[in-house]
Chain A
Amino acid sequence: MNLIEIKHLRKDYATHKAVDDISFVIPKGSIFGLLGPNGAGKTTLLRMITGIFYPDQGEILFNGRPFDARTDIHSIGYMPEERGLYKKMKVGEQTLYLAQLKGMSEKDAKDKIKYWFDKFEINNWYNKKVEELSKGMHQKVQFISTIMHSPQLLILDEPFSGLDPINANLIKQEIFDLSKNGTTIIFSTHRMEQVEEICDRIVLVNQGKKLLDGEVKQIKQSFKQHLFRIEVGVMPNFAQMATYHFSIIKQEGLAYTVKLSEGSTTNDILMHFIRHEIPVTFFQEILPSINEVFIQQVTSIANETIGITNESQPAYS
């Protein structure tokens, strides 16, 4: 069951196509990563999902029905990258106000505030003005006001920027807990190490277009370079390492990075070492990080465009 289905979404700005024919689905209960460099169209995409913008073309299905901003925005919690709270308002009043605007009754909202403020141990902030808070405290309050109304869909745009490791961990744990309880989470970022740690699925966009989407594990598999890391107990001599099954990419002491030749298997590599009576202490496939996939995908497209422009320019020689 998909919570969100996005079909051929388009949004044009005066000068460029912000979102150009993007389709993907977000399964219910998943943690979904929306990745892309700055200016890729992530924020525009999120603003369409949250009902802030209307798409020029295409369709968004929410729970299988066409997205209706009037009712469905109550099921969404959105923490934009550009964060903000009313500086002169007190923390408690602020969260109460934002919760009421999401359709909660005053009583429910107050109960929830008590629950979350207890959980985050910030009860003594209730009467503090927002402008008195540090950036990290500000972020916590913002996070609480985003999840107060128990949204079905939680959209977090760069949720960890500006957080110290302890608070980042707290929020990360909260994201996992919410996900366990059935909340679907869209996580927009360009920090790739977080994506691998947190997300089940990702979609990668660049210049308004979708480059790829799918499960994190599958994507890593499909971009693998057939690289393996081998660590050995004794230093082999040069002749012992010569074989058509693999080539050595890198050597660091007793650790080798090798590339499997086409037609060979991992067992061929291991057999080779065993035959030479070299004890193997470690053997693991090296999968590309999402970061590498990301950079490779984004730069290969950038190179294409650069290539085109270079041709039109006279060569210097």
Chain B
Amino acid sequence: MNKIWLIIKREFTTRVRKRSFLVVTLLVPLFFAAMVVVPILIATNTKEEKRIAVIDDSHLFMNRFSDDKGVYYKYLINTSVDTFQHKYADYGYAGLLYIPELDIDRPGGITYYSNAQPGLAVESRLTRRVNNLIEEERLKKANIDAAQLKAVKSDISIDFKTGEEGKKGSSAVAYGVGYASGFIIYIILMFFGMSVMRGVMEEKVSRIAEVMISSVKPFQLMMGKIIGIAAVGLLQFLIWVVLIVCVQLILPLFLPTDAVAAMSEGGAMMQSGSNAAVIEAMEKIQFVVGSINWTVIITCFIFYFLGGYLFYSALFAAVGSLVNEDPTDAQALTFPITLPIIIGIMVMISSVQNPTGPLAFWGSIIPFTSPMVMMARIPYGVPGTVPYWQLGLSMSLLILGFLFTTWMAGKIYRTGILLYGKKITWKEAIKWIGRKS
């Protein structure tokens, strides 16, 4: 045990002291912070002004285009579209909206002239505005009061309550959290799995393996590496959690004041328009925090992160022990291991949309895919969507699974690590498993 501890310590300290560890550990939360901050900054700082000229030969929409979000409409009278459509840019207009004489029941020929592509947002906004105005005209023609119609229209949202306690939940939130955690597990499996493989390859190629094996058992060497790298991963995860919490606390200080106000006052600033998206996002985050059982999710996340990592990293270690000097061998050898992980992420994407379907069920039970797929299902609710027996079965199978892969990988590793020069195939390696010690 003492030796395995020495190995864990070495694997841990050499990795943590590397400059790349610091860089990755600090850059990832910065990246996440940027993902939150940049859209908000862009949303609040777009002060771009656009002037659009309107020529209305139908005289139906006189001054009914109101300005919004930095777009100003200028209603031109007594101007001919034929001449002005070549000149609007000279007058500082971004484009020209032309409305010909209209039959309100069969409108047509409305045209927008511009030099540059107006962009999807402007296009849809213009189309919606014109359609709204035409609708209003039609209502007027049919003698229906617009205010009355508005009062009749229904715009409610259903509260979806799940589970026996009738806890308020949201599929959208569960979807988001499930997708994110499934994806993070996928990245962890790949990233740390490859890290284990590279570590084993380094030991084999630099020939230190033989020196080591004369002091420790191959299994100790393999497990020491796997556990050491797991500790690095956990430390990194912990730092990220702390940093993300800090960033969220510090974040408001760096944001423009109206965004901060939007955050603190929530819906009160709806009318400011440009902040609607921000407020919506903030409300959603508050809702997420309230509607999800974070204890269950974080506990399960750590379990599936460790379980999945142990399950796959042993296999990655076995691959590392098979690789020789030629690194291209590694690609062919890793394929049978990366394939189930990729299948797992695909099953996860489908399961997060249908968390109770048969694909989601089997995907979350079989240890090859369960770390990713189960994490996608859990935010939908335990025991509502995922009954306790399924969670229990999935967890036990994952534990049995990693015991099995570790045992198997240990056998392959023991032989592979000391075999130089020869190209080894999976077929040969599988034969080693059956060999007695």
Contact = CB atoms under 8 A, between A and B. Distances in A.
Interface of A: 47, 50-52, 54, 73, 76, 78-80, 82-89, 97-98, 100-102, 142, 145
A301 to B, nearest CB: 25
B437 interface: yes
Q: Taking each of B211, B212, B420, B437, which has the highest tally of chain A beta carbons within 10 Å of its own beta carbon?
A: B211
A73 B210 contact: no
B14 interface: yes
Given A47-B418, A52-B418, A97-B6, A76 B214 contact: yes
Given A52-B213, A102-B215, A88 B418 contact: no
B215 A86 contact: no
Contacts of B206: 84-87
A101 B418 contact: no
A80 B437 CA distance: 22
Given A83-B207, A89-B14, A101-B215, 13 more contacts: A50-B214, A54-B437, A80-B211, A84-B206, A84-B207, A85-B208, A86-B202, A86-B206, A87-B206, A98-B215, A101-B3, A101-B216, A142-B211
A159 B53 CA distance: 89
Given A52-B214, A52-B418, A80 B207 contact: yes
A85 to B, nearest CB: 6
Given A84-B206, A101-B216, A78 B211 contact: yes
A100 B208 contact: no
Contacts of B203: 84, 86
A84 B211 contact: yes
A236 B194 CA distance: 80
Contacts of B213: 52
B211 A98 contact: yes
Nearest to B432: A14
25 contacts: A52-B210, A73-B214, A76-B214, A78-B211, A80-B207, A80-B211, A82-B207, A82-B210, A82-B420, A84-B203, A84-B207, A84-B209, A84-B210, A85-B206, A85-B211, A86-B206, A87-B202, A88-B14, A89-B14, A98-B215, A100-B6, A101-B6, A101-B7, A101-B212, A102-B215
Contacts of B212: 101
A97 to B, nearest CB: 6
Interface string B1-28: 0010011001000100000000000000
Contacts of B6: 97, 100-101
A86 B208 contact: yes
Nearest to A49: B214
Interface of B: 3, 6-7, 10, 14, 202-203, 206-216, 418, 420, 437
Contacts of A83: 207, 211
A51 B210 CA distance: 11
A50 B209 CA distance: 14
Nearest to A99: B215
A47 B418 CA distance: 10
Contacts of A52: 210, 213-214, 418
Overall SS of chain B's interface: helix
Contacts of A54: 437
A52 B415 CA distance: 10
Given A97-B10, A101-B6, A84 B214 contact: no
Contacts of B210: 52, 78, 80, 82, 84
A51 B215 CA distance: 9
Enumerate the 6 nearest inter-chain pairs by beta-carbon distance, A residue then B residue, closest first.
A84-B207, A84-B208, A78-B214, A101-B215, A82-B207, A80-B210
A106 to B, nearest CB: 10
A73 B208 CA distance: 17
Contacts of A76: 214
A102 B216 CA distance: 8
A86 B10 CA distance: 11
A88 B18 CA distance: 10
Nearest to B206: A84
Contacts of B209: 84
Contacts of B214: 50-52, 73, 76, 78, 80
A51 to B, nearest CB: 7
A83 B7 CA distance: 19
Contacts of A98: 211, 215
Q: Taking each of B7, B208, B215, B216, which has the highest tally of chain A beta carbons within 10 Å of its own beta carbon?
A: B215
A110 to B, nearest CB: 15
A86 B11 CA distance: 11
Nearest to A46: B214
A306 B202 CA distance: 41
A26 to B, nearest CB: 17
Contacts of A80: 207, 210-211, 214
Contacts of A88: 14
A86 B202 CA distance: 8
Contacts of B207: 80, 82-84
Nearest to A51: B214
Nearest to B18: A88
A89 B17 CA distance: 11
A52 B213 CA distance: 6
Contacts of A97: 6, 10
A12 B400 CA distance: 33
A186 to B, nearest CB: 13
B198 to A, nearest CB: 12
Nearest to B17: A88
Contacts of B14: 86, 88-89
Contacts of A142: 211
A79 B214 CA distance: 9
A312 B437 CA distance: 41
A86 B221 CA distance: 14
A106 B212 CA distance: 18
A271 B430 CA distance: 74
A50 B213 CA distance: 9
Nearest to A102: B215
Nearest to A76: B214
A225 to B, nearest CB: 39
Q: Taking each of B3, B7, B206, B418, which has the highest tally of chain A beta carbons within 10 Å of its own beta carbon?
A: B206
Contacts of A50: 214
Contacts of B216: 101
B277 to A, nearest CB: 47
Nearest to B428: A14
B22 to A, nearest CB: 15
Nearest to A101: B215
Nearest to B6: A100
Contacts of B7: 101
A190 to B, nearest CB: 18
A80 B211 CA distance: 7
